[in-house]
Amino acid sequence: MSALALQIARELAVRPEQVEATIALLDGGATVPFIARYRKEITGALDDTQLRKLEERLGYLREMTERRTAILASIEEQGKLSDALREQILAAETKARLEDLYLPYKPKRVTKGQQAIAAGLLPLADLLFNEPTRVPETEAQAFIVTEAAEGGLAYPDVKAVLDGAKHILMERFAEQADLLALLREYLSQRAQLSAHVVAGKESAAAKFQDYFAHDEAFAKVPSHRALAMFRGRNEGFLSLNFTLPDSDDGVHPCEHLIAHHVGIEAAGRAADAWLAEVVRWTWRVKLLTHLESDLLGELRVQAEEEAIRVFARNMKDLLMAAPAGLRPTLGLDPGLRTGVKVAVVDGTGKLVAHSTIFPHQPRNDWDGSVHALAEICKTHGVELVAIGNGTASRETDKLVAELMKKYPALGLTKIVVSEAGASVYSASELAAQEFPSLDVTFRGAVSIARRLQDPLAELVKIDPKAIGVGQYQHDVNQLKLSRMLDTVVEDCVNAVGVDVNLASAALLTRIAGLNATLAQNIVSFRDANGMFRNRQDLKKVPRLGERTFEQAAGFLRIAQGDNPLDASAVHPESYPLVATFQAAANCDLAALIGNVKLLKSLKPEQFAEFGAITVADVLSELEKPGRDPRPEFRAATFDDAVTEMKDLLPGMVLEGVVTNVTAFGAFVDVGVHQDGLVHISVLAERFVKDPHEVVKAGDIVKVKVMEVDLPRKRIALSCKLDAPLPSEKPANASQRKVPSRQGSSGRQTQGSTPLKSGTLGDLFRKAGVSN
């Protein structure tokens, strides 16, 4: 069993055998979705979340192994690798610890300490350190160097000599790995992180005013506040540093730690004052900035990882939102002066008609627009109307409401849809390839219609970052963010599966084992040869070999093909197992699929050679073949009397849609073009540690309007419908602070950090920065 497997197993609380088997599959080219779905027997049923963590940790530890090997080789080449040091390096569990151990041996520019050693001052430094009863000034006399050797320095007087000896000890202390680890731990647990406005920039830095004089425990800084402060520093408005109260004797506590660790204790001896100065300089000159930088770097990484996890969770919820179904749909991209763009897609998502209507200012062709829409709906059998939630959304929603009232026989259902990212798609190369002759202004309406039919199939065409359901997404490592979001999209697409005869190249690209080239090859083959009749036909696609077929086949579905199993999640490799089910049940395939009673009568132990987990999975899939893991579709009902912020009144209870979930609360669209904030403290009747425990993007919730700030466009909401309004609360009600940011649709939303508040003014008093 490898050391890597043992370590990862311990961290993930799984068996080493599971980790070892998974590593072998990953190294063999298997994808996480494939392993999670079709290799449960081998991995012991590790799920996709565990597998992603395992894959990420494996990469980190392998990078560490490479670095460890390079460090050992470097130190050995210098002839300084002792057995004890080798053991320490091999036992290091983090990259930081590894680099601390390597620090004394790392090639570096010539330092003042090295120059002093070259000038012969090392014996003096050792003497004063080991025998502090010696008088520094007296001992230094013997080490004066009036003429420097070639490339060296002169030490012409006692002060210069003692400074040189000081630098020798400072560098020695500052390169002790155990001391660095001790100070890191102490600072991370005890230090305050202090933010201050840069002098003279107060007016320009108004959006960071919460942090003009801000102090909080470093160990408790939440990710969103950390990222806000880092943004302020990066933009030149804030300075960040660590603070610790001095000890009772006026000495910094870290200086005490250094002195104790290296064995320097004040006892009234002749060299004690000089040694104290060495310790003070070691801390202030050598270690303070270094450790501050390291710890702030770690905080930033942790804050970014948390922000990326929030984005990933929201993205997953959005992608796995309930599809309205492949029904003829009218997509409306609202606008005022430029008109409302209209697009009709059929039940397969194909564009069949498009036009523009002008119901709003300045033309105000309301009746003509209603009539035009009615004719379009009649002609194309439209069942659903998707309305983008941008400018003029509620006005357009009223237009469709009138259409439905005047023409009830059409049987229309209207839904307001987030148009986040639609403009990005409209101008993309993918949209240009899909609709080369269609004006870019209509492509957004097509996207709005399709994302109602099937959010997953349409949203995969848009860069996940453009959908904007994260917090401080532009402040995090963009490569890590892209990688994480790509894995989320991949997992979602494979969890649902795709109809290979309808799926776009963009959707097929996300299937396990496929890439952009193979996805396009599938579409081209389909266009040239007609619909795929069975999964085996996929092997005729250029460059789609056996290995790729194994990875992808189970996620590619063929409805109404030659074999009913091809429309299910049963992998072709398990078709022989289904044949044994048929034989045991003495029936044909059609009689077996969906026959819950018959399937329940089969005894799994009869098929033990296929593996208990595989048998259970296949039986479950046959009960509801091709079932969609996404929830049933349901639309929020906005209050027709509430279309703008000025219509909102404290105490109103409204239905809304969760557009974004952050570490500090959830943003809810109640139909007024401005998302309101439900702070984490009022998300539920119980204490909530993580908002994702309670809500997710796309959820339909009932909220109570607590307060509205029209000038600053801020709305405070509560999921506690019986909560007293701010005006009804006692004056000393606890307060909370919140940073502002962007909502998922690109409309302004308010962000938050745990604070103190009872009124909206207090709630947003310590506003952070917009995203």
CA angle 542, 544, 548 (to 5 degrees): 170
> Residue 465: is its pLDDT beyond 50?
yes
Q: Which residues contact 716 (CB under 8 A, 6 or more apart)?
A: 676, 677, 679, 705, 706, 707, 708, 726, 760, 763
Tokens of 682: 């009022």
On average, the pLDDT of the chain sits at: 89
Domain with CATH 1.10.10.650 in the chain: 3-105
Contacts by 592-598 with C-beta closer than 8 Å and gap 24+? Answer: 592/622, 593/564, 593/565, 593/568, 593/622, 593/625, 594/622, 594/623, 594/624, 594/625, 596/623
| Positive/negative CA dihedral, 586, 590, 593, 597 | negative
Domain with CATH 1.10.3500.10 in the chain: 112-304
User: Measuring CA to CA, how many Å separate 573 from each of 26, 337, 556, 581, 618?
Assistant: 19, 58, 14, 14, 11
The alpha carbons of the chain give a radius of gyration, in whole angstroms, of 33
Cis preceding-peptide flag for 362 (omega within 30 of 0):
yes
- Residue linked to tokens 């009649």: 378
Return the CATH fold of 3-105: Arc Repressor Mutant, subunit A (1.10.10)
| Residues counted in the chain | 771
Query: % helix / strand / coil in the chain, to the nearest 5?
Result: 50, 10, 35
- For 238, phi then psi, to 5°, come to -125, 150
| Positive/negative CA dihedral, 441, 446, 447, 448 | positive
Per-residue pLDDT reduced to its tens digit, 532-591: 999 999 999 999 999 999 999 999 999 999 999 999 999 999 999 999 999 999 999 999
Tokens of 514: 């496929």
Q: Are the C-beta atoms of 1 and 23 separated by less than 8 Å?
A: no
- Residue linked to tokens 């109404």: 560
> Residue 736: is its pLDDT beyond 50?
no
State the Cα–Cα distance between residues 172 and 437, nearest whole angstrom.
71
> Residue 168: is its pLDDT beyond 70?
yes
Report the pLDDT value the prediction gives residue 34, as an integer from 0 to 100.
97
Report the pLDDT value the prediction gives residue 420, as an integer from 0 to 100.
82
> Residue 739: is its pLDDT beyond 70?
no
Report the pLDDT value the prediction gives residue 42, as an integer from 0 to 100.
96
Average pLDDT in the 587-608 region?
Answer: 92
Average pLDDT in the 36-58 region?
Answer: 95
Amino acid, res. 479? L
More confident residue, 310 or 770: 310
Residue 467 CA, distance from chain mean position: 13
> Residue 760: is its pLDDT beyond 70?
no
Report the pLDDT value the prediction gives residue 743, as an integer from 0 to 100.
39
Per-residue pLDDT reduced to its tens digit, 492-536: 999 999 999 999 999 999 999 999 999 999 999 999 999 999 999
Return the CATH fold of 112-304: Tex N-terminal region-like (1.10.3500)
β strands within 328-400, DSSP E: 329-333, 340-345, 351-357, 384-388
DSSP bridge partners of 387: 332, 416
Query: Between 48-77 and 478-496, two packed helices, what is the crossing angle to 10 degrees?
Result: 140
Q: Which region, left, alpha or beta, applies to residue 9 given φ > 0 means left and ψ of -120 to 50 means alpha?
A: alpha
Q: Which helix (H) or strand (E) holds 434?
A: helix 429-434
| DSSP single-letter state for residue 110 | P
Report the pLDDT value the prediction gives residue 755, as an integer from 0 to 100.
34
Coil, strand or helix at 435: coil
Average pLDDT in the 361-377 region?
Answer: 95
Torsion of CA 645, 752, 470, 202, to 10 degrees: 100
Domain with CATH 2.40.50.140 in the chain: 645-763
Read off the pLDDT band of 137 (50, 70, 90). very high
Q: Which CATH superfamily is domain 645-763 in?
A: Nucleic acid-binding proteins (2.40.50.140)
> Residue 76: is its pLDDT beyond 70?
yes
State the Cα–Cα distance between residues 609 and 758, nearest whole angstrom.
64
> Residue 221: is its pLDDT beyond 80?
yes
- Residue linked to tokens 């523009």: 356
Per-residue pLDDT reduced to its tens digit, 603-621: 888 898 999 999 999 999 9
State the Cα–Cα distance between residues 374 and 725, nearest whole angstrom.
44
Read off the pLDDT band of 730 (50, 70, 90). low
- Residue linked to tokens 């919730």: 701
CATH of 327-453, one of 3.30.2350.10, 3.30.420.140, 3.30.470.20, 3.40.50.12140: 3.30.420.140
State the Cα–Cα distance between residues 246 and 374, nearest whole angstrom.
77
| Positive/negative CA dihedral, 159, 162, 164, 169 | negative
| DSSP single-letter state for residue 145 | B
Per-residue pLDDT reduced to its tens digit, 649-681: 999 999 988 888 888 899 998 888 788 999 999
Lowest mean pLDDT: which of 350-354, 606-610, 695-699, 753-757?
753-757
Read off the pLDDT band of 151 (50, 70, 90). low
Per-residue pLDDT reduced to its tens digit, 391-445: 888 899 899 999 999 999 999 998 888 888 888 889 888 899 889 999 998 999 9
> Residue 741: is its pLDDT beyond 70?
no
State the Cα–Cα distance between residues 103 and 309, nearest whole angstrom.
33
Report the pLDDT value the prediction gives residue 729, as an integer from 0 to 100.
57
Read off the pLDDT band of 592 (50, 70, 90). very high
